Amino acid sequence: MFKSRIVFLPFVFRFIGLAIVLIALAMTIMKLAAGTPFGSFFRFDADIRVYAIHAILILGFFLIAFSKERIEDERIQHFRTQAVFISLMGHAVFFFVLTFTSLTLQWINFPAIILMNSIFLVYILAFSILKIRDQLCKSTYNSD
C-alpha cells in the first residue's frame, strides 16, 4: 500500500467543500440578481461582500483539493502531481502572456484572491479530467 507523506483531509470533506462551493455560487447568483454588475467581481474596489464570496470559494476549493480519494494509491498521487504541474504551467503561461502584451494594462487590476480561486479551480478540473480519462481507458480495455 502506498503511504503518502502529505496528510490529506478525510474523504467526506470533499462533499463539505462541494456544499460550500454551491453556497458561494448561490450567493453570487443572489448578488447578481440584486443588481451588482458581473465585472465588479473582478475589481479591486469591489464590495467587501464580493471578497467574502471569493473567500468562501477558496475554502470550498481547498477542502475539495486536499481531501483524500476513496482509494489513495500511486496512480492517484501521479494524477495529483500532474494536476499541480498543469495548474502551475497554465498560470505561468497566463502571466507570461499578460506580461508581454497590452492586455496587462487592461487586466492587471484584479485582486489576488481571484488568482487563488483560479489556481484551485484549474487543479481540481485537471485532477478530475485525469481521473475520468483513466477510468475511460480502463473501461475501454476491459470491454475488449
6 belongs to a structural domain: no
5 belongs to a structural domain: no
Look at the chain and report how many structural domains it folds into.
1
4 belongs to a structural domain: no
Q: How far apart are CA 42 and CA 107, in angstroms?
A: 9
54 belongs to a structural domain: yes
45 belongs to a structural domain: yes
pLDDT value at 109 more than 70: no
CA torsion angle for 132, 13, 57, 25 (degrees, to 10)?
Answer: 70
- The grid cell for 97 is 502572456
Residue 11: per-residue pLDDT: 93
102 belongs to a structural domain: yes
Residue 40: per-residue pLDDT: 78
Instruction: Output the CA angle 90-6-85, nearest 5 degrees.
Output: 15
pLDDT value at 144 more than 60: no
Question: What is the residue range of 94's domain?
Answer: 12-143
Closest to 112 (Cα-Cα) out of 31, 48, 42, 20: 42
2 belongs to a structural domain: no
1 belongs to a structural domain: no
Residue 43: per-residue pLDDT: 72
Residue 16: per-residue pLDDT: 96
Q: Give the rounded percent of residues in the chain with a pLDDT score beyond 70.
A: 83
- The grid cell for 30 is 443572489
The contacts of residue 6 (CB under 8 Å, 6+ apart) are none
